[in-house]
Amino acid sequence: MRSYTKNMGKPTNILKIFSSVKVAREVSAILSGNTFQKICNTPVMSLNQPNIRTLATRPVVFLFAFQIFNKHSQMFATSIDTRFFGLDFVGESKQWLSIDPMYLFSSKVEQVPVERDEQLSVKNKIQELSVRCNHLIIWTDNCLLGEEIGAQVTTLCLTANKRLNVHRIRLSQLTPTCVVAAINNIQAPTKEVIGAIKIHRQVEFRVAQVFTRFQTLHLHKLFPSSLG
């Protein structure tokens, strides 16, 4: 199966993001008839210590030709299994001793980039591919984490290439029949789902932070000499 007939423009290069290397490889094999090319990941230089070789690697990319949107295209399939952005409080809310933990439920929260070597190397590769493509297809898992990672990847890719057309595919099972059905049901990302995921993430973050601070401050009172 190497075609998808719905006409939605004139793509030449298409970037597909999956939640795991296994799914990216299997879908690439199904859509290409096992003719895909695997571009292996290679070690990169540490971003924090440029003179040291690190275990951080760029993601595996599967490349194959595919007819989609009534046009011959090059597919770049890769996988992401980690968040690129975290959450943090703003201003005085970061102060543990001077702020009542309950205040954190209404404090302003901001999204901050994760700057570990692993995330940065993957981010650089994803944005590099985004510049070469004009369509982005999110194939991440149909779960909270999958939706969140998909939204974060979309943000990264659009930062590198604002002309990208973004699509969402939901895969129920990793079988040829389901893969073909999924690619014939390409949709636009659902803004309501993305918004709900962001709210869920904030609630989860706030509850965890409040609990951690209450517990830490309580233990500090019980063992002042040990916890300083």
Tell me what pLDDT residue 64 has. Answer: 95
User: What pLDDT, on the 0 to 100 scale, is given for residue 162?
Assistant: 95
Residues counted in the chain: 228
pLDDT at 45: 42
Rounded CA separation 65/184 (Å): 17
Cβ 14 vs Cβ 133: under 8 Å: yes
DSSP 3-69: EE-------SEEEEEESSHHHHHHHHHHHHTS--EEE---EEE-SSSTTSEEEEEPPPEEEEEEEET
CATH of domain 3-86+114-198: 3.40.50.140
| DSSP one-letter code for 187 | B
Those residues of the chain that have pLDDT short of 50 are 1-9, 11, 43-56
- Does this model's pTM top 0.95? My answer is no
User: Residue ranges per domain, the chain?
Assistant: 3-86+114-198
H or E element in which residue 183 lies = helix 176-183
Nearby residues of 169 by Cβ (< 8 Å), 6 or more positions away: 137, 138, 139, 182, 183, 185, 186, 187
Q: What is the pLDDT of residue 69?
A: 77
pLDDT at 98: 80
At 139, the amino acid letter reads W
Q: What is the pLDDT at residue 228?
A: 57
Residues 93-110 have pLDDT tens digits of 888 878 888 999 999 999
Model pLDDT, residue 2: 44
